[in-house]
Structure 1
Amino acid sequence: MQKIATYLDQDHRRCDEQYTMAESEVILRHWESAGRQFERFLALFNCHLDKEERVLFPRLDHALGNGYGPTTVMRAEHRQLREMLALMRAAIAQRDTAAYFDQADLLRILMRQHNLKEEGILYPQADFVLIKQADAVIASMKNLDHAETGSAA
């Protein structure tokens, strides 16, 4: 039985790796490639957020008996991250390195804090509370991989 935390931690790493490739292209001002790499990152990242928001969070809220706990904070942070990423996408389209890195610098800080909360608190809590459902949770998340990115992750 795989742990939910392990699965989602690996998802974080895949997103981080793709983001690094996109950012490298922005640094080099290879705008066409930067756009493609950033779109790949966005697809992975949005799929990851969907795994949490559509699969993990509802089950965790149900198991904890509320919808106002840690998942509420995570959803709010997801909205903030999506807004920043939209600005970064626009900066790439406009070939504006300064605008991109204005957001990227803040994104790095927020993403690090967000991931620390998920990996250090939320995911271990999910492993504990959803232990009997872990395989089903992971299978549902893997189905989103296939449905939304066309990958066989």
Structure 2
Amino acid sequence: MSSIPDYMTVKHRECDDTFAEAESAVAKNNWSLAKEKWQLFTTDLDLHFEAEETILFPQFEKATGIIAGPTQVMRSEHEQMRVLVQGLNKALSENKKDEFLGLSDTLMVLMQQHNMKEEMMLYPMSQQHIPMELDILKQLKEHCEAVLN
């Protein structure tokens, strides 16, 4: 993965896959597997949001001078997703299948729309505008690996 769009898109897919595994486990009433997969998903999601909000977005804003633009929208959508995750956490902790699945459908739609905006617009713009000497990709990878280790 030699570019911001490539690396961050792979991270999106990893989150999506774990999310789908958790959702499938809930649908089958396999609560222990659901909780295990959900914990992995929320950890990855938090890590991804943190990498964007503390590394990528500030560098994009600095490089472009665009502050009240795509990064502002992305941060707002992150907050919307965090609220949904809280509701999902509660539903999962109480083994409320229908509530979880209803909220998970909403979260999935929001994530898909959000990811498309980042993958088609923000990530390519970041790759184009952030100076190469900052090696933003290395910073993103180091952040993710440092937290996981």
Using the size of structure 2 for normalisation, the TM-score is: 0.94
Q: Tell me the equivalent position of 2:58.
A: 58
Mapping 1:1-150, distance limit 5 Å: 2-130=2-130, 132-133=132-133, 136-150=135-149
**8 Å Cα contact 1:35-1:89 kept in structure 2:** no
CA contact (8 A) 1:43 1:149 kept: no
Offset at 1:147? 2.2
State the shift of 1:133 in Å.
Answer: 4.2
Mark the runs of 5 or more structure 1 residues left unpaired by the alignment.
none
Whole-angstrom distance in 2 between the partners of 1:50 and 1:137: 14
**Shift of residue 67 of structure 1?**
2.0
Deviations 1:74-98 (A, max 9, x none): 0000000011011111111100011
Contact 2:19/2:37 (CA < 8 Å) preserved in 1? Answer: yes
Distance 1:59 1:145 in 2: 17
Identity of aligned residues (%): 32
State the alpha-carbon separation in 1 of the partners of residues 4 and 133 from structure 2.
10
**What is the Cα deviation at residue 104 of structure 1?**
1.0
How far residue 131 of structure 1 moved from its aligned partner, in angstroms, is 5.1
Pair 116,138 (structure 1): closer, same or farther in 2 beyond 3 Å? same
The 2-side partners of 1:114 and 1:133 are apart by: 28
- CA–CA separation in structure 1 for the residues paired with 2:144 and 2:112: 23
Matched to 2:106, the amino acid is L
2:114 counterpart letter in structure 1: H
1:107 to partner: Cα distance: 1.0
Aligned length: 149
For structure 2, list consecutive stretches of 5 or more residues without a partner in the other structure. Answer: none
Query: In 2 relative to 1, CA 3–94 (structure 1 residues): closer, same or farther, beyond 3 Å?
Result: same
Q: Does the 8 Å CA contact 2:63/2:130 hold for their aligned counterparts?
A: yes
- Deviation, 1:66, is 3.5
Shift of 1:32: 1.5
Local SS of the residue matching 2:107: helix
Instruction: State the Cα RMSD in Å.
Output: 1.4
Native 8 Å contact 1:91 1:99 kept in 2: yes
4+ runs deviating over 2 angstroms: none
Normalising by structure 1, we get a TM-score of: 0.92
Provide the rounded CA distance (Å) in 2 between the counterparts of 1:51 and 1:59: 11
Shift of 1:149: 2.1
